[in-house]
A and B are shown apart, each in its own frame.
Chain A
C-alpha cells in the first residue's frame, strides 16, 4: 500500500515538473506556472491511480485528460468554446513520447536487420504502435469532449 502511494506521489510530483518545464518552453506567463504544474501533477495522479485499478494506459489517460478538461471549464466558466490551454499543457506530461520513439527505433532496427528478427519484431512494433495511437487518440478525445458538448447546445439554441 505504501509503495503504491509513494509511486503515485512520485509520478504526481514529476508529472507536475514536466508540465511546468514545458510551460516555460511554450513561453507561458510566469504567474501561471503553478497552475500548469498543478495540471500536470493532477493528470499524472489520475492516470497512475487509474493504472493501479487495472486500466490500460489508453483508458487511464483518457479519464485523466477528460477530468482535466472538465475541471478547467468548471473552474474558469469560459465564455468561448476554444477555452484555455491549461489542460493541453497539463496533458503534455501524459503524451507517450517514449513509446513513439520506441516504435520508430524498432522500425529502424527492423529495417537495418531485414527479415531476420521475423514475427516477434513486427508484432512488437504493431503492439506498441496500436497502444501509441489509441493513447494519443484517448488524450485528444478526453481534452476535446467537454468543449464539444456546450458548442452543440449553443448551435441548437440558435
Chain B
C-alpha cells in the first residue's frame, strides 16, 4: 500500500490509465488486456473502484478513491498491431504494480513508448511479409514458379502500405491500392514464369491485408462480454476485406488468362 506522500492526484492516475489503455488498444491488445492494465494501474494507486468503457474509437475511465472521483475520456486513433509496444506497456504496468515506479515516471515512459520501441528495418519487414504470403501460397497449393512472384508482389505491397500509412491516407483506400498492386505483380510474374496457379498467386499475394489480429480479437471480445468493441472491430474487418477483394478482382481481371 503506497503511503500518502507517494499517492498521486486522482486525475493523474486517470490520465495514466487512459494513456496506457490507448496505447494497448491502438497496438492490437484485446479488450480484456486493456481493461486489466487500466484496473491494475488504478489499484496500484489505492483507488477503491475503476470502471472502464472501452470502445473502438474511444476509451472512458471512471475511478474512485474514498470521497474523490474522476472521469476522463480519450480518443483511440487508427488500430494496428505492434507487439513490442504492447509488451513495453505491460512491463510498465507490472513495474507500477510492484511499486518500482511512480505515476509521473510511468506517464513519461508510456508517452515515450512509440519513440523508444525498436522496430525492424523496412526492407526486413517487407521481405518477411513477402515470405509469409509465399508460404500461404504453398499452403494453398501454389506451385514453385509462383513462389517468387508472390514474394515480390506482397513485399512490394507491404512497402506501398507502409508508405501510404505514414502519409496518413484512409486505411480502406490503402487496402484497395495495396491489394491491386500485390495481386497484379504476383499474377503477372507467375504467368510470365509459366505457373499454372496464377489465380492462387494473386490471392496469396494479398493475404498480408487480412486483419488477422483484429478478427481474432473481435471474437475474443465477444466471448469475454464486450460486444460493442467486438462489433466495431468486425464491421471494420468486413469493410477492409471488401476493399481488399475489390483490388484483387480488378488485378485478376487484368492478369488472368
CB distance from A121 to the nearest CB of B (A): 14
Specify the chain A residue showing the minimal Cβ separation from B129: A25
User: What residues of chain B lie closer than 8 Å to A24, measured between beta carbons?
Assistant: 120, 124-125, 128-129
Chain A residues with Cβ under 8 A from B222's Cβ?
140
Note all chain B residues with C-beta closer than 8 A to A64. none
A141 touches B248 (CB 8 A): no
| A85 close to chain B: CB less than 8 A | yes
- Point out the residues of chain B lying under 8 angstroms from A105, CB to CB: 245, 248-249, 252
A145 to B216, CA, bound (A): 13
Distance of A11 Cα from B138 Cα, bound (Å): 8
A21 pairs with B138, CB closer than 8 A:
no
The reply to whether the CB of B132 lies closer than 8 angstroms to some CB of chain A is yes
Contact of B135 among A14, A98, A102 (CB under 8 A): A14
Write the chain A residue with the least CB distance to B131: A21
The CA-CA distance from A95 to B32 in the complex, in Å, is 22
Contact A97 B210 (CB under 8 A): yes
Say yes or no: is A27 at the interface (Cβ < 8 Å to chain B).
yes
Cα distance A27–B81 in the bound complex, in angstroms: 8
Question: Would you give the shortest CB distance from B255 to chain A, in whole angstroms?
Answer: 13
Assess whether A101 is in contact with B224, with CB atoms less than 8 Å apart.
no
B87 within 8 A of A: yes
Give the total of B residues in contact with A, Cβ under 8 Å. 57
User: Within 8 Å CB of A57, what residues of B?
Assistant: none
Q: Does B28 contact A (CB under 8 A)?
A: yes
Closest to A48 in B: B139
Do B81 and A81 touch across chains, with their CB atoms under 8 A apart? no
Q: How far is the CA of A44 from the CA of B36 in the complex (A)?
A: 31
Q: Which residues of B contact A44 (CB under 8 A)?
A: 139
A102 to B200, CA, bound (A): 10
Asked, given contacts A81-B32, A136-B219, A140-B216, whether A21 binds B132 with beta carbons under 8 Å apart, the answer is yes
The answer to whether residues A143 and B125 also contact, given A26-B82, A27-B85, A108-B249 and a CB cut-off of 8 A, is no
Minimum CB–CB distance from B231 to chain A (whole Å) comes to: 14
Chain A hits for B117, CB < 8 A = 27
| A residues less than 8 Å from B244 (CB atoms) | 101, 104
Cβ distance A56 to chain B, nearest Cβ, rounded Å? 17
Asked if B36 and A80 sit within 8 Å, CB to CB, the answer is yes
Q: Which chain B residue has the least Cβ–Cβ distance from A83?
A: B33
- B128: chain A residues at CB < 8 Å are 20-21, 24-25
Chain A contact patch, size range: 35 or more
Task: Judge whether A39 is part of the interface by a CB distance below 8 angstroms.
Answer: no
CB <8 Å contact, B139 and A140: no
In the complex, what's the smallest C-beta–C-beta distance from A44 to chain B, in angstroms?
7
Residue interface mask A1-31, B partner, CB < 8 A = 1: 0000000001100110111111111111100
Given contacts A11-B139, A101-B245, is CB(A29)–CB(B210) below 8 Å? no
Residues B114-136 near A (CB distance < 8 A): 117, 119-120, 124-125, 128-136
CB of A66 within 8 Å of the partner chain: no
Residues B83 and A140 in contact, CB atoms below 8 Å apart:
no
Q: Chain B's nearest CB lies how many Å from the CB of A74?
A: 19
Contact B36 A82 (CB under 8 A): yes
- The complex places the Cα of A20 from the Cα of B131 at a distance, in Å, of 9
Task: Decide if A92 touches B30 in the complex (CB within 8 Å).
Answer: no
28 pairs, A vs B, C-beta closer than 8 Å: A17-B134, A17-B135, A18-B132, A18-B135, A21-B135, A22-B132, A24-B124, A24-B125, A25-B129, A27-B117, A27-B120, A29-B83, A82-B29, A82-B36, A88-B213, A91-B216, A92-B216, A97-B136, A98-B204, A98-B207, A100-B245, A101-B207, A104-B248, A136-B215, A140-B219, A140-B222, A144-B220, A148-B224
Q: Can you add 8 more A-B contacts, CB < 8 Å, to A27-B81, A29-B87?
A: A25-B81, A85-B28, A88-B216, A95-B216, A98-B207, A104-B241, A109-B249, A143-B216
